[in-house]
Amino acid sequence: MSRLTNKPHLIFLLSIPIIILFGILYRNEMLDINVHDTYFVISQIDFTILISILFGIIGLGYWIMLKANRKLSKLLNLIHITLTFGGILLIWILSQLFRESIMEYDFNNYLTLAIYLIALIAVFGQIIYPINIIYGIIKKNKTSG
């Protein structure tokens, strides 16, 4: 766990090939997002490339802070990683529970609401990343003297 909070760039950079592999395996799938009467349709490969670029930028930022010898908050690192990957994992698990039967609409509606809330929390959790980077830039490095 300490390696994860000390070097958070590793989990973001190492997850990129896995995400791209899922995108290649499911490239014919589409992601449909329904907002009231509007449907947003994104191909799976485009979505995985977008997520990979985002994770690359986040991993690069963490790596630059490590190479610049700036200390980031371990708690903020842990919260950011947990909200990011935990949110993605929970959304994936909940999306597997959708039922196709017409009689199960209430269940699907509550499930959709849960997925939207988890996605919202995960997206707002990304605000922790720039806060942590700013904290690392402002914080003075402790030197032994």
Residues 94-112 have pLDDT tens digits of: 888 776 655 556 667 788 8
pLDDT per residue as tens digits for the range 65-78 = 989 888 888 899 99
Which residues is 34 bridged to in the sheet? 39
Distance (Å, whole) CA 25 – CA 3 = 30
SS3 88: helix
Distance (Å, whole) CA 24 – CA 116 = 25
C-alpha count within 13 angstroms, C-beta hemisphere, residue 106: 1
Task: DSSP letter for 102, please.
Answer: G
SS3 53: helix
